[in-house]
Amino acid sequence: MPLSLIEEANHIVLIAHQDPDADSLGSASAFYSYLLRTQKKITFYCSSPNIAAHLTFIPWTQKISNRFPLDADLAISFDCGSFGRLGVDYNGELINFDHHISNDQYGTLNCIDTSAMSTTQVVYEWFRSQDIKINAKMANALYAGLMDDTKCFRDPRCALNIFSMAHRLLELGADHEQCVNGLYNSKTLASLRLQGEMLKRMKLVLDGQLALFEVDQELLALTGASLGDCKTVLDEAITLKIVNVALLLAVRKRGGISLSLRSDGAINASEIMQRYQGGGHHDRAGAKVTDKPLEQIREEIISYIKEEM
């Protein structure tokens, strides 16, 4: 049980993954609030030095440190599908809270529900199973992760349990307006400019079923956007009626190619990304490749997609 590991620990580190999203930060944040009730030392860790400004409405993000404490005797990771996503080479006791289908169970204890729509849902269910009181701060953090991972409840798999959870969290004090404004009304001009350029350059292949995007550092410099800004365009492309899959190949600053794949269910994105040591979910996944040129990766992935469709 996670509870006994937690009870025995003195210094607990909560880990959000590299380049954290609202789900990873929200689940770690809710846990941070919960652990404040104990007398333990807590560190909120993330290896990425800068947290995106639009996510700083999530409670406790100002406490995040990118230095991993040496005296930690328990770490809890949130939304990290693989050990590499932790961004730290820690080999002590580790609880792994996650919902990625590709999670490789790297924890001492793994609390993984691949049917959950967000890691905040896994944490919420765990709090409920332990009769842990959820205060307004925790509710807001859990709600932010749920909202982000369900694309603002637009995911077709949102069922009654998701709306019940949302309802309950709102009753407990989650702030819908703050979450919507933080997650959807905080775009930068650079990211919108980038989206425009990417859509202009989008190629439709496989009879229009695959939307293909390629981004290099020049395009990022031209628009002033970051690599992280590219992914939202994939979600736009998939809303085209004929498009079932969207693929992004982006050249990274320090070499290598960053891959992001979105599927409307036609193919298993996670399986394809696992061929490149990446992973994720059935409908969205990613990987980083350093040993192959972009052209080769592009052609390989197109043929994998073709096989599956």
Interacting residues with Mn ion (CB under 5 A): 23, 79, 119, 149
Of 2 and 81, the one with the shorter C-beta distance to Mn ion is 81
Determine the Cα–Cα distance for residues 68 and 247; give it in Å rounded to an integer: 34
- Whichever of 92 and 228 has its CB closer to Mn ion, that residue is 228
Minimum distance from CB of 161 to Mn ion (Å)? 16
For 98: left if phi > 0, alpha if psi spans -120 to 50, otherwise beta; the answer is: beta
CB of 299 to Mn ion, least distance (A): 30
Distance of closest approach, residue 147 Cβ to Mn ion, in angstroms: 11
Q: Which is nearer to Mn ion, 79 or 214 (CB)?
A: 79
User: Which of 149/229 has CB closer to Mn ion?
Assistant: 149
Please give the residue whose beta carbon sits closest to Mn ion in the complex.
23
Q: How far is the CB of 210 from Mn ion (least distance, A)?
A: 24
Which residue in this structure is represented by tokens 């043929």? 303
| Dihedral-angle region of residue 174 (phi above 0 means left; psi in -120 to 50 means alpha; beta otherwise) | beta
Q: Which among 260, 212, 210 has a CA at the least distance from the CA of 232?
A: 260
| Least Cβ distance, residue 159 to Mn ion (angstroms) | 17
* Residue 169: how many other CB atoms lie within 10 Å: 26
Interatomic CA distance for residues 33 and 27, integer angstroms: 10
CA distances from 131 to 7, 14, 126, 134, 250 (A): 16, 21, 9, 9, 45
> How many helices (H) does the chain have, and how many strands (E)?
11, 11
Provide the β-strand partners of residue 43.
Answer: 13
Terminus-to-terminus CA distance in the chain, angstroms? 42
Q: Residue 176 Cβ, how far from Mn ion at the closest point, in Å?
A: 19
Cβ contact 111:99 at 8 Å = no
- The residue (of 79 and 93) whose beta carbon lies closer to Mn ion is 79
**Shortest spacing between CB 76 and Mn ion, in angstroms:** 15
Nearer to Mn ion, 30 or 194 (CB): 30
The token pair at 23 is: 């789900």
Answer positive or negative: Cα dihedral of 269, 279, 252, 85.
Answer: positive
Q: Which is nearer to Mn ion, 149 or 283 (CB)?
A: 149
